[in-house]
Homo-oligomer: A and B are copies of this chain.
Amino acid sequence: MTTDIAKYRFNHTMYRVKDPKASLHFYTEVLGMKLLEEHHMDEAKFSLYFVGYEDPQSKGLKRLERQGLLELTHNHGTENDPACAYNTGNGENGGYGHIAITVDDLDAACERFDKLGVKFIKRPTEGRMRHIAFIADPDGYRVEILKNSAV
């Protein structure tokens, strides 16, 4: 028995997605994460997709040794269900807010998102906070884009 809490790790954040094709396109092609693992539970009718960045710090680490991953849960059939629209957490009584991605060059990142047709919730030029943008993923989950040289 060991309870070395200093060795605990924040491995992943999970949310549900309606259409994994759209979400995987967004998180890999648009945001540059890698698809690290996928698990298909055909009997229980759901699939899990683990995505994350191949940062130098995590090189050689197994999935469960890493930090900063995203687990996308797909309940089979939601992609064809017009009634499926997830509460993405920022409405009334909403508790969940967003994930944040840090980037070297915020303007370049936003220019690229525009070219890719990404939906903006807040551009750097809007509001008071000029060092951040908010974009929406295919389900509407907020993704903060944050200049890594910001204070």
Give A contacts to B, CB under 8 Å.
1-16, 31-33, 52-55, 57-58, 61, 64-65, 67-71, 73, 85-89, 92-105, 107-109, 111-112, 139, 141, 144, 146, 148-150
Contacts and interface: CB of A to CB of B under 8 A. Distances in A.
A2 B71 CA distance: 28
B95 A71 contact: no
B13 A109 contact: no
A31 B16 contact: no
A85 B109 CA distance: 36
Main SS at interface, chain A = mixed
A10 to B, nearest CB: 4
A22 to B, nearest CB: 14
Given A104-B4, A108-B1, A14 B57 contact: no
Most buried by B among A7, A8, A93: A8
A10 B100 CA distance: 6
Contacts of A53: 6, 8-10, 67
15 contacts: A5-B31, A7-B103, A8-B102, A9-B68, A9-B102, A13-B13, A13-B100, A16-B94, A16-B96, A16-B97, A57-B67, A64-B146, A71-B100, A87-B87, A87-B89
A98 B89 CA distance: 12
A32 B31 CA distance: 30
B33 A6 contact: no
